């Protein structure tokens, strides 16, 4: 069984963070190229990660209309949750860094 099959069979709570980061950056910038630059990856690596995330979640998160990238309803819902989740992670790390300096 390949890595794709193993990932696709994991429960939703086991979604790899790097896939979520790729989707979040793409959705925030509405550009795979800009997401790739932010995450120091190639646009094709971003595309692969978002595609794999869609496979794991079994739903489309984004679509291209002409040259324009748009989010589906599921993509909008996921992005809203990820914004909150990543904000909490950032806050936790900042708090830890602050107490480490004292």
The b/e string for 47-57 (b: 16+ C-beta within 10 A; e otherwise) is bebbebbbebb
Diameter of the chain by CA atoms?
53
* Whole-number CA gyration radius for the chain: 15
Residue 53 tokens read as 């995330």
Query: What pLDDT score was predicted for residue 61?
Result: 98
pLDDT of 73 > 80? The answer is yes
CATH architecture of 3-101: Orthogonal Bundle (1.10)
For the chain, what are the domain ranges?
A: 3-101
Q: Is 58 left (phi over 0), alpha (psi -120 to 50) or beta?
A: left
Q: 72 phi and psi, to 5 degrees?
A: -80, 175
Which stretches of the chain are DSSP H helices? 3-9, 17-29, 32-39, 43-57, 73-101
Query: What pLDDT score was predicted for residue 9?
Result: 58
Query: What pLDDT score was predicted for residue 97?
Result: 87
Query: What pLDDT score was predicted for residue 98?
Result: 82
Give tens-digit pLDDT for 5-49: 555 555 546 899 999 999 999 999 999 999 999 999 999 999 999
State the Cα–Cα distance between residues 84 and 102, nearest whole angstrom: 27
Report percent pLDDT > 70 for the chain. 86
Query: What pLDDT score was predicted for residue 23?
Result: 98
Query: What pLDDT score was predicted for residue 83?
Result: 96
Query: What pLDDT score was predicted for residue 66?
Result: 86
Report percent pLDDT > 90 for the chain. 75
């Amino acid at each position: 069984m390949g890595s794709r099959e193993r990932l696709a069979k994991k429960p939703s709570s086991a979604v790899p963070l790097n896939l979520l980061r790729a989707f979040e950056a793409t959705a925030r910038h509405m550009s795979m190229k800009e997401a790739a630059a932010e995450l120091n990856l190639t646009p094709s690596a971003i595309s692969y990660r978002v595609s794999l995330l869609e496979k794991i979640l079994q739903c489309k998160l984004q679509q291209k209309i002409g040259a324009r990238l748009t989010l589906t309803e599921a993509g909008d819902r996921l992005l809203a949750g990820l914004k909150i989740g990543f904000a909490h992670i950032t806050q936790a790390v900042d708090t830890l860094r602050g107490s480490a300096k004292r």
